[in-house]
Structure 1
Amino acid sequence: MSQNNQKTLSSQRRLVQIITILKKHHLAKGIDPVKFRMILEDLGPTFVKIGQIMASRQDMFSQRYCLELVKLRDNVAAMDIETVREVIEDEYGKKLSDVFEDFDEKPLGSASIAQVHKARLKEDGRDIVVKVQRPHIYEMMERDIALVRKAIKLLKLNEVLGSVVDLNIVLDEFWHTAKEEMDFLNEAQFARKFAKLNADICYIGAPVIEMAFSTHKVLVMEYIDGFDIDNLIKLKENGYDVEEIAAKLAENYIKQIVDDGFFHADPHPGNLRIRDGKIIWIDFGMMGILSHNDKDLMKTAVMAIGKNDTQKLVDVILTLGEHDGRINYTLFYDHIETFMSHYVSADLKDINLGDVVQEIFTIAHKHRISMPKGVSMLARGLVTIESTVMLIDPHISIIEIAANHVTNHMANHFDLKKELTNSVQKLYNSSQNFLELPIQLSDIMRMMMKGRLKINLDIVESSVPLISINHMVNKLVVGIVSAGLLMASSLLCTTQMTPKVFGIPALGFIGYMTAVGLGIWLLLTVLKEKKKKK
């Protein structure tokens, strides 16, 4: 039998296996979180990975499902040493013994995509760890993804699970994430970038990546000894202040988010060690990346919660989120206002960040607002880092550290060292709103282009003719364009651009005249409508 026929047969058998498992759990009778977790476990490593991704998407899936799927753990038998040897020798084109002086056959850890071994380099005797990818894992996962799409159609699973999950969205995100994770050179670049961004922080470190020995399927890095970060007895015995470790760990994580926009997405204790007075981060297979705009929105969200500014938090969520369909803005605002009221009188030290994040994502889920990948990874990371630092110091408040970091960052940025009085604060806020007008216009244009700009109207008593709404929107657009032209023309006046008209750059002069014309037209239109009503 040819290789292609064998592959087809294997795929057919796997499809039958998948359908059999799904039928065994009686999906037609409904589904609950426990049943869903058991199905994923029965289906194997690919689906366990899918479930782990789902557990981090509280904006897409209900909290009940996310909490249950957190229980999923990789439960994969370790590769035998012959298989490991074959993968390494295929990648290097030479024998294992030509590269490593010593290679520990017992793995340090084994997961669905790869396993890790301790070894020693032959060229200089340095202790290192070798991460080896399972053979054919890419092809196996690709096959499983294709087959589960077929199973979804055959069993009409989206009709059964429609109110719980959109399986196609889950599969798309999983496959994108898995492909990145299966290219170890991505992880190598992530680790080097992380080390560079944190090079100036004396108490933070990362393992050195041995690029000369790293390939797409084999990753070699410095071996990190020292102490587990949650081994408090050993840390105290060796003179470490665990409260200081917790505070520095939390501060560094907030710095990764707010300053760098590049953060470790899985900061559990197993990925952190203490060595020579430094917190060493390891395993960079899953990193979160935030755009400059998303970073600014995160700062705004923290400040909005701190100031109990419901409108600002609503704006942040709607700008960040993606949704298909009409949002009931009034109801959404009410839900956010109720959420804010829970924390308005609470001390920051008493607020649990995990609860805050879960509540916001639950509200977003209710209104079918999903967050970008970087933001959902951030939510998962924040919940994980809070549980990690609280293992070290139960009295720490990561949300207080975050608020202080953001406040100090913004104060330094604007050189506001003293607290402003109420009148000056109002003037400052007004100027900030004016300066942010071009950015807001840009956000509006971006949302329009992505089809995400929604206008919600509560029409009371008699229905309003659509033509009236159309006129109202037209006037709003003219007002925004006029304000934008005035702002842009004012900025042009600060330059030495030529030619000039009456000492003003010609382009700026044209902008002013156009803005004035639009303003006069708008004023006359309003007066005319007012006269008609009388």
Structure 2
Amino acid sequence: MSSSKNQGSSWKRFKQIVSILRKHHIQKGMDPVKLRLILEDLGPTYVKIGQIMSTRQDVFSQRYCEELVKLRSSVTPLPYETILEVLESQYRQAPSEIFETIDEVPLGSASIAQVHAATLKDGRKVVIKVQRPGIYKEMEEDVELIRKAVKILNLSETLTSIVDMDTVVDEFWTTAQQEMDFRHEAASAKRFKEMYADVQYIGAPTIVDAYTTSHVLVMEYIGGIEIDDIVTLDKEGYARSEICEKLAYNYVNQIIDVGFFHADPHAGNLRIDEGKIVWIDFGMMGELTPRDRDLMKQGVRSLVNRDSALLVETILTLGTSNKEIDHAKFTVEMDRFMNKYINMSLSDINLPQMVQEMFAICHQYAIMLPKGISMLARSLITIEGTMRVLDPKTNIMQVLSSYEMELLNINWNRKLKSMLVKAVEAGEDSIELPIHAKHLMEALQKGQLKVNLNLLGSEVPLANLDRMINRIVVCILIASLLLGSSVICTTNMHPKLLGIPLLGVFGFLIAFGMSLWLFVKMLFLHQKNKPF
């Protein structure tokens, strides 16, 4: 019974989606503005997916990413009674037994959760982040419908030809699942707070573990001043240039030294409270592996040394592609990219423009970068915008210049450890080499040896070779028919047509038809590169 009910609900939702797509005339094609409007009409689930999509410039073109950033985060607030019901179901007791007061008017209402200010029984001021009831099931159903729509509407070609959209949707769904488990956000907030516990000018809210669940997050209330409220900051006597420099320095530190960074550093997630820059909302965090950080430093070294080959190697090592890359053309593009920025000082570089150009090149050659790198690219652009409002004179690249020596230095300790591990592995392999050789010879003697050969870039030459062989075969058949028909015509074979053996006439006609067919193929279809 429940299964048929679910199917009915899915069918109803599917018809609603189809009606919205018709409303926006999806059959006439897609463009960035139309996609944004469609996602807004489809509701909170699709708004969240669109926001995640906007962080992947390596997957979607720059036009789409810039437009999807405009998606509205705020949605219609839930009734206060619904919030109380969720709290009671999570705590299995009346919210009044835990909270002294809960503000009925929410501080914010987003696609996944709603936030209310409250006071605990012990007097502590807190913020309650309450997940919308049924949002997980709603998103799960919508994601399944998206997969079906991808196949029906062929959205892969509409949006991008780089990746399989099913893979992209899976990644988005994984990210959304993590964001819907507030215990994951609580762990990120505690990790961030511990990392910068000794930094006097950086802060983060304290998580109230006793009342935090997978659907409810309770944390310390942070008042203070919004970081883009420049009027109040000036009135309170804050030096905005100093705040901006410290913010940039801390963010660069998150990326280079720690490899764990806030992936959504817009002004709404930053406060100035009691002289501290306080980061809030840790639902979207990025992480870089030591390998990715080392490769990023290698990329900087390649830019400084004007080594385009090393830069190409770095990008290809970081990224993946599901189609063949023209390395020569890609190298030329990277040369052009470097020549544009190589003579500039770091403080003169427009970071958003540089990042977007780099991702445009990767998009052009179907190179998909790791999730952490793509999140970092979007977050750098976001924090640059936040800093520009706070103090237009400060450039994050100026702060990055103070890290220049660290970026260019090699971590010899890690390098020596890596070399030692490789040396041990090489020694083990050399000991086992005779055994492997013996097994190889035994397989060869028994006829069990198989070789899988994959020649990179061989598809086009092999297709041309196959086309040439086909033509040779056709030519041989034509020659054979002509030769055989000529021999038959010298005989007295019956029946005859105009005194010529009929079989010989048929042979000539078939040879003529095949010759005409071959001529047409070579003259017209060869220009379209169609094999025959």
TM-score after normalising by structure 2: 0.76
Correspondence list, 1:231-310, <5 A: 231-310=229-308
Is residue 44–residue 111 contact of structure 2 (8 Å, CA) maintained in 1? yes
Q: Which residue of 1 aligns with 2:41?
A: 42
Shift of 1:47: 1.3
Asked if structure 2 preserves the Cα contact closer than 8 Å seen for 1:28 and 1:160, the reply is: no
Say if 1:437 and 1:314 are closer, same or farther in 2 by CA, change over 3 A: farther
Letter in 1 for 2:359: F
Equivalence for 1:191: 189
Please, which runs of 5 or more residues in structure 1 have no aligned partner? 416-430, 443-452, 465-534
Higher mean C-alpha deviation, range 378-387 or range 166-175: 166-175
Supply the AA of the counterpart residue of 1:45: P
Residue 31 of structure 1 corresponds to 30
Match of 2:222 in 1: 224
Shift of 1:113: 0.3
Q: Which amino acid aligns with 1:248?
A: K
The one-letter amino acid of 1:267's match is P
Whether the 8 Å CA contact 2:84–2:95 is kept in 1: the answer is: yes
Partner of 1:98: 97
For residues 149 and 129 of structure 1, what CA distance do their matches in structure 2 show? 36
Cα deviation, residue 165, structure 1: 7.1
User: Identity of counterpart residues, as a percentage?
Assistant: 51
Q: Is the 8 A contact 2:162 2:367 kept in 1?
A: no
Q: Distance in 1 between matches of 2:330 and 2:262?
A: 31
Q: CA deviation at 1:26?
A: 2.9
CA distance in 2 between counterparts of 1:128 and 1:413 reads: 43
* Aligned counterpart, 1:83: 82
Residue in 1 that maps onto 2:358: 360
Partner amino acid, structure 1, of 2:25 = H
The SS at the match of 1:379 is helix
Query: What is the CA-CA distance between 1:437 and the residue it aligns to?
Result: 12
TM-score under structure 1 normalisation? 0.76
Matches within 5 A, 1:432-471: none
Distance 1:406 1:176 in 2: 35
Q: 2-11 vs 273-282, which deviates more?
A: 2-11
Q: Distance in 2 between matches of 1:346 and 1:456?
A: 37
Task: Report if aligned partners of 1:228, 1:270 keep a CA contact under 8 Å in 2.
Answer: yes
**Match of residue 18 from structure 1:** 17
Query: Post-superposition shift, 1:154?
Result: 3.3
Map 1:50-449 onto structure 2 (within 5 A): 50-122=49-121, 124-158=122-156, 160-161=158-159, 163=161, 166-408=164-406
Q: Closer, same or farther in 2 for the Cα pair 1:125/1:42, shift >3 Å?
A: same
- Report the alpha carbon displacement of residue 69 of structure 1 after superposing the two structures with TM: 1.3
Kindly indicate whether the alpha-carbon contact (under 8 Å) linking 1:19 and 1:151 is maintained by their aligned counterparts in 2: no
Shift of 1:20: 2.2
Letter aligned with residue 378 of structure 1: L
Tell whether the 8 Å contact from 1:327 to 1:454 is kept in structure 2 after alignment: no
Residue by residue, what CA displacement relative to the aligned partner does 1:192-231 show, whole Å, maximum 9, x if unpaired?
A: 0011111221111100000011000000000001111112
1:80–1:199 distance in 2 versus 1, CA, 3 Å: same
| Counterpart residue type for residue 186 of structure 2 | A
Paired with 2:160 and 2:228, the residues of 1 have a C-alpha distance of 41
Q: Deviations over 1:92-141 (max 9, x none)?
A: 0110100000110100000010010000001x101000000000100000
Point out where structure 2 has 5 or more consecutive residues left out of the alignment: 427-453, 466-532
Give the 3 Å change call, closer, same or farther, for CA 212–410 of structure 1 in structure 2.
farther
Q: Distance in 1 between matches of 2:246 and 2:397?
A: 14
Q: Which residue of 2 is the match for residue 9 of structure 1?
A: 8
What CA deviation, in whole Å up to 9, does each residue of 1:13-59 have, x standing for no partner? 10111122223333332221112222212221111112111111111
Q: For residues 68-103 of structure 1, give each alpha carbon's deviation from its aligned partner in whole angstroms, at most 9, with x where no partner exists.
A: 111111242101011000000100011010000011
| Residues 488-523 of structure 1: per-residue CA shift (max 9 Å, x gap) | xxxxxxxxxxxxxxxxxxxxxxxxxxxxxxxxxxxx
Distance 1:455 1:299 in 2: 29
Task: Give the Å deviation of 1:408.
Answer: 3.8
Q: Deviations over 1:146-173 (max 9, x none)?
A: 1222233334444555548743233112
- Larger-Rg structure: 2
Counterpart Cα distance in 1 of 2:88 and 2:317: 50
Report the Cα distance in structure 2 between the residues aligned to 1:88 and 1:35, rounded to whole angstroms.
Answer: 38
More moved, 61-70 vs 259-268: 61-70
